[in-house]
Amino acid sequence: MILAVLSLGALLVPVQASATEPAAGCAAVARPSVPGAKVLATSAAPKPGGTIEYPPEWGVPPITGVPPFCEIKVELTHPGAGDHVLVRLWLPLTGWNGRFQATGGGGYSMHQGDGPLALAVKDGYAAAQTDGGVGFDFEDPSKWALDSKGRVNRELLKNFAYRSLHDLAVAGKAVTREYYGKAPAYSYWNGCSTGGRQGMMNAQRYPNDYDGISAAAPAISMPSFVMADLWPQVVMNVEGVHPTSCELDAFQRAAIAQCDPADGLVDGIIREPAECRFDPGTLIGQQIECKGRTITITKGAADVVRKIWAGPKTRTGAQLWPGYDPSTSLAATAATPFKLAENWVKYFVKKDPAFDFSTVGYREFEQLFRQSKREYDRILGTDEANLTAFRNSGGKLVTWHGTEDSVIHYGGTLKYRHDVVRRMGGAANVDKFYRVFLAPGAEHCGPAAGAAPADQLKPVVDWVEKGKAPETIAAVTYTGASRDLCRYPLRSYYNGTGDPRQATSYTCRTAVR
């Protein structure tokens, strides 16, 4: 699923020397004015804080030490839309740092439950989220995607794409201002995946809503990359060969073994995965152990993996979307059908919940891919390259993306960055307000063999409030090794000496070809 669990890291220094406390404890606030919406009700309830649990199926440790807070809910609707939207705020009862933080979603959900709010409150923020009226399900949009006549619910899709984002900013900051008796000194967006796309949409459509935006692994170009996530299934179904997860893992391990040493350090990370030229045919005939049985890798399996890595193409050979890099795990989208992507086709492209994607061949896939872009790029593509208004507002935007992301290929982020550079006068100009950081070996919104940021918002805060533009972002692997992410297009190079688990043993410099 497109899911991100954000770690906000160490407590940030309050904006004010003394914390601002609410005027009247946890009392209800007046209904905020939200242009284009009708606010139905507000409510307030004190919460004790303590330990906040994630859903057990996520496998994420609970958040401890959350301070007491006031939860304020704002219910609203858009006249004529027939929707019901909930905006939730968690406001620290003591120790507010003077900042507002809006948190993003994952998959088909516009938020990620209590976790991001708890992390933000623990760091002293007034925190907020919205459900956009579309519920809380990352993989399945069946409850909102189609109306009673089987048509795409355009009003709720508009909420999901952009409208509820602005409502969240307006309502959230207004409630915060009334609750504490003063407006936030700074406002931030923090999200990954769908939350990353939401951050980019804020910069593109609502450039004055936030002073700083952290938009990680952004799900921009969603009508394209979600279709591309189904390419492995098309290849396997058409070719009649379905490699087991053990075989897919064997191809990935072999690719890493061959290409990892190219950067001068054998650490399970390929610094330039797009340059890995591993031939899957070299594994033909090799035997592997898989769940108590021996499997011999066939030519058919190798050919299927080669086509998956090549990515979706038209009948004339034109690339529709980047293919998987050989070092990227195929477990999420190839070993089993990717439910989020299947549901995209069922509900938004075919408008038929009973549609069987397993029957789709190469030609129909190309047609569906083009239809997906044609119908949804304008509302959900979130790839407008003109960020002039955001730049002029003084906003700062930071994106990081793992090169082993198996759900959203980092090539989409780089394409967008290059589009902005072309549109806005070159890299030096764009670097003044928008920077990208690749995370070699990191997965979707988190670490793997490669490192991911422990606190993805802090570089944005430092840039906005201290004028300190980030050259690197501190990151850690799942084993605790540290590595700085380098500002694109720079790359991280091992110095040849020192502990390879320490960030100080690496230098950012121009890539050597």
Catalytically active residues are 193, 405, 444
| DSSP line for 124-175 | T-EEEEE-TTS-S-SS--TTTSB-TTSSB-HHHHHIIIIIHHHHHHHHHHHH
Rounded distance, CA 213 to CA 319, Å?
31
Rounded distance, CA 139 to CA 332, Å?
13
Closest CA to 455 of 153, 11, 81: 11
Rounded distance, CA 347 to CA 454, Å?
36
Which residues lie closer than 8 Å to 316 by C-beta, 6 or more apart?
A: none
Which residues lie closer than 8 Å to 416 by C-beta, 6 or more apart?
A: 200, 218, 220, 221, 383, 385
- Alpha carbon 479 to its chain centroid, in Å, reads 22
- 73, 87 contact by CB (below 8 A): yes
Burial class (CB in 10 A: 0-12, 13-18, 19+), 48: exposed
Helix orientation angle between 231-239 and 299-310, rounded to the nearest 10 degrees: 150
The DSSP symbol for 446 reads: B
Q: Is the dihedral of CA 23, 25, 26, 27 positive or negative?
A: negative
